[in-house]
Structure 1
Amino acid sequence: MPPARPAVHLTPVDTWMNDPNGLFLRDGRWHAFYQNNPVGSAWGHMSWRHAVSDDLLTWTDLGVAIPEEDGTAIFSGSVVHDSRNTSGLAPAGGPGPLVAIYTGNVSTGDPAQHGPQVQNLAVSTDDGATWVKYVGNPVLDRGSTDFRDPQVLRHEPTGRWVMVTVEAQDHEVLLHTSVDLVHWEHASTYRDDRLDGIWECPDLVPLDAAHPEGAWLLIVSTNPHGPAGGSGTWGVPGTFDGTAFTATDAPQPLDHGPDHYAAVSFWGVDGAPLVMPWASNWDYARHAPTWPWRGTMGLARTVALEPADDGPRRLVLIPVLPAAPRPPEGPRLDPGAVHVLRLPLPPAGAAWELATPDRVELRLERTAQDTLVMRRAESALPALADDGRPKPGRPVFGDRTRTLPIPVDGERDELVLALDGCVAELLVARRDQGASPTGPMATMLFFPAEGAWELRRDW
């Protein structure tokens, strides 16, 4: 029996999902597109599928929005509202179009090889219900097979659009600028020897949108060499002048867990950026035992930079939770329900345990006086092939069974644990923060054995 489908996380109906794309807020409604194989449960035939929500927790599927077509797959990208119609892609005098900027991956006929990767546009004048690909595509072509994942922002001080992309194999973030979303000029290149692996899904966001001359955050996902191994997401604090990004602090994990990748921000949000990740890891995403649906997004979360009296500032997250955290009412938990639990830190060397009748599924373990990790059991369900058949001898998680250690303060911190189907999200928060706690997070999938859950102390 497959694990419970998450109730308050965006999941595909019955096909494959990976990176979130084109996230935006418009007229009070949240829109999310994502990488989707509309005809199967494994990666392939990449298209954008569309879902909407009024609260970031309950999602309605609207089907495929921008399909693979004529040998060009629709890889990751973003959506902006061109409110001034700088592109001229909507009738004059109207509210301006929504413009999707995405990577077109041109087929070589060999599924094992990327073809040329170019940046394309699609346009919607009906709030994202239908999209028309721009007849002048591509709008940016470097003759590269690893030039992808455009995230576009508006930099008002310079009056220009900024496109952030990667040369994935070269460890480069490229910044291009434009006055009209159609004609682009290279502005600068950012390199950082502290980040290894293939770079993907960059984003550049002001941590205080009202003061764009202040702190910015460059988000980069890497595979492998993520914070917890395999694929993962990093944040690099710095400054941005409309042309070039300059790092001011070392890269930090955006999430300490193994199941947080390709996080990008929502367009149209005032204040601190709100991001949403894909909650999986390329080490095992194709073998998840949830067939025929595969993949889930993590909870949306606001990103902030915590002030520091001395030393580096710490990235902290404010997740959109389905309910205010509360202490558990007893040891028994319904696996089919959503739980948001407030828990005291365990003593050093001790742990909270989430157990099914036969084994411990998750441990929130105080590994030392000032660190905590979440550990999971290997999946109780077998790894599955693309067609849903078991793969004997193939573990699902392999050695990806723990989070990166999270610093904790025994005098000030507590734990908030959100459990929803096969997704566990851990927040290390200050005890006095009320219903909207903030702190470092760790996101982790788990595929438990059947039976009721029991939450218990081992001290």
Structure 2
Amino acid sequence: MSLPRPRFHLAPAQNWMNDPNGLVFAGDRWHAFFQFNPQGNDWGNMSWGHASSPDLLHWDEHPVALRHRPGEQIYSGSVVAGDDGTLTAFYTSAYDHGVQAQSRATSVDGGFTWTMDAANPMLDRGSADFRDPKVVRVPGGGWLMLTVEAVERRVVFYASDDLRTWRETGSFGPLGPEGVVWECPDLVRLPLEGTTERVWVLLLSTNPVGDDADPAGSAMHYVVGDLVDDVFHSPAADLRPLDHGRDCYAGVTFDSAPGGSAVMLAWMGNWRYAHVVPTSPWRGAMSLPRTLGLRRADDALHLVQRPVLPPLDDVELDSPAIAPHAVLEVRWDTAATGTMRLRLEGEGDAVVDVIHDPAARTLSVSRSGREADALHPDFAGVRTAPLVDPAAGALTLVIDGPLMEVFADDGLTALSHLVTLGAGPVTVSATASTSVVPTVRVGEARVGSPAPTAQEGPAAPAAA
């Protein structure tokens, strides 16, 4: 089976994609740069691909922005927009001699052509694992760059007044489990619901390494804290899962998003099996964009994620078969239904089960079937998330070809997965531990098929 290409998630027309890199809102469009292999659909020849969108759902793919060079691959980084319209990119130069250092490039035409700084690399610690520069604005003026010493599990901070000269201010970590590397940090100041307060949150991705690496694979986390003297601090004793699914990694936020909102995009992949996902001639896709916030519950601050959803046409569920590009809104009374099971059945014996258990206070997603078993030994199985509010009987399930994202707990719980349901109709059924049946509202996405080829420049905004 070759899995179908998504319609309203960002995915390349061809070749390999992984981490989002420079995410920036500029020129009334959302620009996403990303790790990209311009020469095939396996990891390698790492460069920055480029796509833009008027609405975060219709994406136009553009020519490669930053291309690998002899002796140097272009790893992850970020982009910030200046007041004069200049875009400045910061990226990791991964040199063949084993050193990783931070470099800089600028664009004056909206990100379509770039000039690399003649003084590159601008930050070089002589380290083999110094990468992923994320530059954020500091309230009151100035800039802060987050990088990682990945193996040491440390975020290293640098401050600048001009985006050229940087001074090291300190570090955060190590924290949480050993046997992983830290990657793709971001620092966001999020609104706390019901207040005028904003709180600093550090986003991190971890990837297990070593001979006995955790088969759960790569994952995203967050830490709530504060920014003091250009260094993040937190009393937290551990990292908290951002997404409880198997396929949400390397998420970072857009610079200059309208209204100062924190809009995150993540790679829907897992390093345990990303290289064998059966798609061609493309491989890799992004999550739906998610607006981030905070909510106080159980005497703690919890991350809230609100996905950007496509325009929908309601479809009556008189026939249980739906197109594999749809949004399901499920509502039920937990006191009346007890445990709720939503089952999706695709081609062959492919099954995805979503189970909401208010007594156990859990939400789980399982992937099963011959295709799931054959994809990779670590692919099939169950993932379970704790529920903050098990009495909230509502969830949103988004399916877009091989991508499935589940949001529950009014945005407090998310599980993102690749699925092997195939390209044909998907059968949906909802059952409960009592005789009360949950209500399922289905909306088929009104987003056209993705463009089969890259665009040569900024396209006119597509109609929703």
Q: Which residue of 2 aligns with 1:333?
A: 321
Q: State whether residues 320 and 429 of structure 2, in contact with CA within 8 Å, keep that contact through their aligned partners in structure 1.
A: no
For the residues of structure 2 that align with 1:360 and 1:343, how far apart are their CA atoms?
Answer: 25
Alpha-carbon contact 1:6-1:422 (below 8 Å) kept: yes
Structure 2 partner of 1:50: 50
Moved more, 49-58 or 238-247: 238-247
Q: Which residue of 1 aligns with 2:31?
A: 31
Q: Is the 8 A contact 1:364 1:373 kept in 2?
A: yes
* Partner in structure 2 of residue 138 of structure 1: 121
Cα distance change on mapping 1:199 and 1:327 into 2, 3 Å: farther
1:244 equivalent among 231, 237, 260: 231
Which residue, out of 198, 212, 220, partners 2:204?
220
C-alpha displacement at 1:356, in angstroms?
2.8
- 1:350-388: CA deviation from partner (whole Å, max 9, x where unpaired): 511001364352101135611110111156279xxxxxx
Match of 1:263 among 235, 251, 276: 251
Deviations 1:236-260 (A, max 9, x none): 1111135111114453211111000
Instruction: Give me the whole-angstrom Cα distance separating, in 1, the residues matched to 2:214 and 2:248.
Output: 10
Which residue in the other structure is 2:366 paired with?
375
Cα distance, 1:429 vs structure 2: 4.0
Question: How far 1:106 moved relative to its partner?
Answer: 0.4
Q: Percent identity?
A: 36
AA in 1 matched with 2:364: V
Aligned with 1:344 (options 322, 327, 332): 332
* Alignment correspondent of 1:426: 406
Taking the TM superposition and a 5 Å limit, the aligned residue runs for 1:10-25 are: 10-25=10-25
Match of 1:439 in 2: 412
- What is residue 92 of structure 1 aligned with on the other side? none
Native 8 Å contact 1:350 1:365 kept in 2: yes
Q: Is the Cα–Cα contact under 8 Å of residues 187 and 244 in structure 1 kept in the other structure?
A: yes
Residues 325, 301 of structure 1: alpha-carbon distance in 2 compared, 3 angstrom cutoff: farther
Q: How far apart are 1:156 and its partner, in Å?
A: 3.3
Distance 1:181 1:367, change over 3 A: same
2-side partners of 1:190 and 1:350: how far apart? Answer: 41
Q: How does 1:178-193 map to 2 (within 5 A)?
A: 178-193=160-175
> Structure 1 residues 449, 17: closer, same or farther in 2, change over 3 A?
closer
Alignment of 1:161-180 (within 5 A): 161-180=143-162
Q: Give how far 1:336 is off.
A: 4.3
Would the aligned equivalents of 2:25 and 2:255 in 1 still touch at CA under 8 Å?
A: yes
1:318-354 deviation per Cα after TM superposition (whole angstroms, max 9, x unaligned): 1101136968623433344333433437745551100
Query: Cα gap change, 1:22/1:357 in structure 2, threshold over 3 Å: closer, same or farther?
Result: closer
TM-score (norm 1): 0.85
Which amino acid is 1:303 matched to? L
TM-score (normalizing by structure 2): 0.84
1:104 maps to which residue?
Answer: 93
Q: How many residues align?
A: 421
Partner of 1:207: 190
Indicate conservation of the 8 Å contact 2:215/2:378, yes or no: no
Alignment root-mean-square deviation, CA: 2.6
Quick check: 1:364 aligned with 2:354? yes
User: What's the offset of the Cα at 1:2?
Assistant: 1.8
Higher RCO, Cα 8 Å, sep 6+? 2
CA spacing shift, 1:164–1:326, aligned 2, 3 Å: farther
Query: In structure 2, what is the Cα distance between the partners aligned to 1:375 and 1:240?
Result: 39
Deviation at 1:410, TM superposition (A): 4.2
Equivalents in 2 of 1:318, 1:6: separation in Å? 20
What's 1:387 paired with? none
- Gaps in structure 2 of 5+ consecutive residues: 433-464
Instruction: Say whether the 8 Å CA contact 1:338–1:419 is kept in structure 2.
Output: yes
Give the partner amino acid of 1:288.
Answer: V
Q: Output the CA distance in 2 between the equivalents of 1:381 and 1:228.
A: 15
1:307 Cα deviation after fit: 2.1
Give ranges in structure 1 of 5+ residues lacking alignment: 84-94, 109-114, 383-393, 431-437
Q: Secondary structure at the match of 2:118?
A: coil
- The structure that is strand-richer by fraction is 2
Shift of the 271–173 alpha-carbon distance from structure 1 to 2, 3 Å rule, reads same
- 1:354 aligned residue (344, 354, 374): 344
The alignment partner of 2:147 has SS state of strand
- Counterparts of 1:37 and 1:144 in 2: how far apart (Å)? 24
Q: Tell me how far 1:107 sits from its aligned partner.
A: 1.0
Counterparts in 2 of 1:228 and 1:406: CA distance versus 1, 3 Å: farther
Measured in 1, the distance between the counterparts of 2:103 and 2:375 equals 39
Residues 401 and 422 in structure 2, CA contact (< 8 A), matched pair in contact too: no
Question: What's the CA shift string for 1:216-249, capped at 9, x where partnerless?
Answer: 1100100129999210100111111351111144
Are 2:329 and 2:394, in contact at CA under 8 Å, matched by a contact in 1? no
Contact 1:4 1:421 in 2 (8 A): yes
One-letter code aligned to 1:247? S
Query: Could you list the per-position Cα deviations for residues 179-232 of structure 1 after superposition, in whole angstroms to 9, with x for gaps in the alignment?
Result: 2212211101101422431100001111149x9994111001001299992101
Q: 2:137 aligns with which of 154, 175, 186?
A: 154
* Gap change, CA 1:379 and 1:12, over 3 Å in 2: farther
* Partners of 1:147 and 1:212 in 2: CA distance: 36
Evaluate the alpha carbon distance shift between residue 422 and residue 397 of structure 1 in structure 2; reply closer, same or farther with a 3 A threshold: farther
Structure 1: how far apart are the matches of 2:176 and 2:316?
41
Instruction: Rate the CA distance shift 1:66–1:323 in 2: closer, same or farther, 3 A.
Output: same
Q: Is the 8 A contact 1:327 1:342 kept in 2?
A: no
Structure 2 letter corresponding to 1:286: H
